[in-house]
Structure 1
Amino acid sequence: MNKQIKELTIKFADEVNPLEPFNEKNWFRDAYQTMQRTKKGGTSKEQKEEIRNLVFTEIKKMKNIEATQECFDKWFYDVVNNISKIGQLTFGQSQKIVNILLKYFYCYYHS
């Protein structure tokens, strides 16, 4: 039994090992797909690319904002609002994308 577990563990590690932990395209695709089930109508490839660029640019800029709740809330509101305008998404749909990506960054940073 222990030999089987060890073999399966090694096989699993070999499968997972080549995966890149940080990949903007994959992270955004997964976040967008989670939100997409609530969206009526499509979003063009160009709009998705624009949203992806905006979100990742803004998240990377977060380290430059003052570490207060008020500053974060303003940053968050502005980012979500801008996404909503690009992709004709509701505030909640845009918020979902940002929240998921922030969680990905948090987990990536702390792992």
Structure 2
Amino acid sequence: MEGVDALLKRYSELLDDVINAISHSDLDEVSKYVLVLQDVITLIAQELEEHPEEQHKHADSVKVIHEKQQKIISLLELRAQDLLREVEETTNTYQARKTYEQNKGIR
């Protein structure tokens, strides 16, 4: 089994891939990465259970991972806002077209 260092490095690299996928609006890729991230987290937890002395050795890696996770949250929030804006614009366009069609029928 890989050591905690290698697993944390792999996890951090996967987070970079998630950030890249979100930035390119590739949500299918994001969902695939989430499954892999869950597996890596499980492996990290198993390693730390077997080697509890390792827990305090990885503060720097954990800090970097936390920063990447915060960036992912921010990117997802921005993407959600963009999607809501698109839905609102589509709804407004639909309403305008519906009103136009109704007014056209009155003439």
TM interval, shorter chain, is 0.3 to 0.5
TM-score (norm 1): 0.34
TM-score by length of 2: 0.34
Query: Normalized per residue, which structure has more helix?
Result: 2
